Structure 1
Amino acid sequence: MLKKLLGLSTASILALGLAACGGDDATEEAPTEGAEGTEETTTHVGEQVDYTIVGIDPGAGLMNITINDVLPEYGLEDDWTVTESSGAAMAASLASAYENEEPIIVTGWSPHWKFSDFDLKYLEDPQNLYGGAEDVHTIARLGLEDEHPNAYQLLDQFNWEPEHIEYVMALINEGADPADAAEQFVSENEDLVATWTEGVDSVDGDEVTLLYVAWDDVIASTNVVGHALETVGYDVTLTQVDAGPMWAGVASGSGDAAVGAWLPTTHADYYAQYDGEFEDLGSNLHGTALGLVVPTYMDIDSIEDLVVE
């Protein structure tokens, strides 16, 4: 039976003091002396969202890029704040704002169920600070191939597409237990899963530990791989940790593998820190993206639009 130490902390939903929505609404100013009529001004998007970008967990590479690169390079560091929360809290804040058609800016990534549930867009990044599409890699502890060759082979052969992971994420978001969502996906996609298990021999209760961070996509992928390992006889434990401990755990051997290593940007610092202490099995998913995300009803298109004149 799949043993999961999810340990998901219940993050407090951010209570954002958002200003009234409607960035295109004009406000009247009293005419200046000697002028005729009135002059219209447009509320800056910063005032609409209290100059706040809703972030995720502080150890995430997405947060580091936003705070240390994007804000200073675009000249936003003096006016804007990126709040620390979690992926779940960010999504809850986005859902609340979207339901009421209120303005909101979040640190976002894809694949993620929010893009199937809401009409969203990435703000253009003219300086390309968030970089291009990333891959999600599988990393394994040194020695795994020798000690658990069949688990190693399945992990090495694991590969899927964004639409696959988004399907699992949607099931979970709609209320399915992650383990149940994983089982449903595996049962409905036998041909795909067969490419992961090709040449893999069955075992009898060998224990394997997968480490993961509490991001919706990583929860989905880890549960799916865990269930696939179960189908060939492994006794799998899923252990939730933060990003740093995930890499440290694989490097130290306290965890056998992780399938949620975002590269080359998001987890670049961890990759460099533990280089040589783990094995990179390569990409298991291509076509990710990072950036600042807003609902399409907001009249803003670029990070440059956040600059306060």
Structure 2
Amino acid sequence: MLKKLLGLTTATALAFSLAACGGEEPAEDAPVDETEGTEEATEETATHVGEDVDFTIVGIDPGAGLMNITINQVLPDYGLEDDWNVIESSGAAMAASLASAYENEEPIIVTGWSPHWKFSDFDLKYLEDPLNLYGGAEDVHTIARLGLDEDHPNAYQVLDQFQWEPEHIEYVMALINEGTSPADAAEQFVEENADLVATWTEGVDSVEGDDFTFLYVAWDDVIASTNVIAHVLETVGYDVTLTQVDAGPMWAGVASGSGDATVGAWLPTTHADYYEQYDGDFIDLGSNLHGTALGLVVPTYMDIDSIEDLVVE
């Protein structure tokens, strides 16, 4: 159980008590160790956050690139592997844990990414990453099975032309988080952004009930993007099936042809292992979204700014 965050107390100077019988003052030349208090305060600061969160980082799906980086690079390279643990869960479970902690103003550290609705609902910050292990901003790519351009040329063209901005996807994510179903949120977005959607369907012919299958992971951003592009394909006549899987099966499914496409491939970092594993067995249609970020995320009320602050001296 996460412990309540305790504020760091400032060091106070201890005054010598006057002797009851004589009021004797301390010797003026008594040595003062100015470093002792500083060292103790530094150690207290270094261990404080870890103790308050039970040295636990709340993660997401096992096998996700974000988890691999955190466990296999961030922990060892920052010297955290002996003290810290990363809990495997899911994007939804991570968000639920964050929401619960935030509501009670409790400390919590999570593996985070943006765009994500949590940044619009809560005051959060990424911990600085001096070693740049999480890398710079990523793109979200559209990945299609081999032969899709021949079997479903109109769907292929929509996917090839599909591109939007973080504020677009965050709008859909916020609708879903507020209780709108993913399908209804997608329909609302498409209706309200006709000009943008027209750039995706430009030159596309209608079809009559052709089957199309999207594979997607249960990440809030991918749920939003998959539902939006699925609705667009439905408007041109496709019968679309959405199949939720983990990241590994998502890539394997597209590579094997059991799924037609995914619009939730985070590259070049998060899904780098899958990209390398299945390279040559899929078509990379390029980025559909720029401006993502990865890292460790905490509420702004926590007095911590960098991953280096997690180190226990």
TM-score, normalised with respect to structure 1: 0.90
- Separation of aligned partners in 1, 2:9 and 2:300: 16
| 1:284 and 2:275 matched | no
Higher strand share: 1
Match of 1:54 in 2: 58
Match of 1:271 in 2: 275
Of 101, 105, 121, which residue of structure 2 is paired with 1:101? Answer: 105
Match of 1:24 in 2: 8
Q: Secondary structure at the match of 2:242?
A: strand
Residues 184, 35 of structure 1: CA spacing in aligned structure 2 closer, same or farther, 3 A cutoff?
farther
- Percent of paired sites with the same residue: 84
Quote how far apart the aligned CAs of 1:23 are: 4.0
Q: For residues 1-309 of structure 1, what are the structure 2 equivalents within 5 Å?
A: 17-25=1-9, 41=41, 42=44, 44-309=48-313
User: For this pair of structures, how many residues does the alignment match?
Assistant: 290
Structure 1, unaligned stretches of length 5 or more? 1-16
Quote how far apart the aligned CAs of 1:26 are: 5.4
The Cα offsets for residues 134-185 of structure 1, whole Å up to 9 and x where unpaired, read as: 0000000000000100000000000000000000000000111100100000
RMSD (CA atoms)? 2.0
What amino acid sits opposite 1:195 in the alignment?
A: T
The Cα offsets for residues 11-34 of structure 1, whole Å up to 9 and x where unpaired, read as: xxxxxx122213424599x99xx9
Structure 2, unaligned stretches of length 5 or more? 16-29
- Separation of aligned partners in 2, 1:226 and 1:156: 14
Q: Is the 8 A contact 1:108 1:293 kept in 2?
A: yes
Residues 96, 143 of structure 1: CA spacing in aligned structure 2 closer, same or farther, 3 A cutoff?
same
- Separation of aligned partners in 1, 2:86 and 2:156: 39
- Which protein is bigger by CA-based radius of gyration? 2
- Separation of aligned partners in 1, 2:208 and 2:223: 25
What amino acid sits opposite 2:159 in the alignment?
A: L
Q: Is the 8 A contact 1:120 1:296 kept in 2?
A: yes
Quote how far apart the aligned CAs of 1:193 are: 0.3
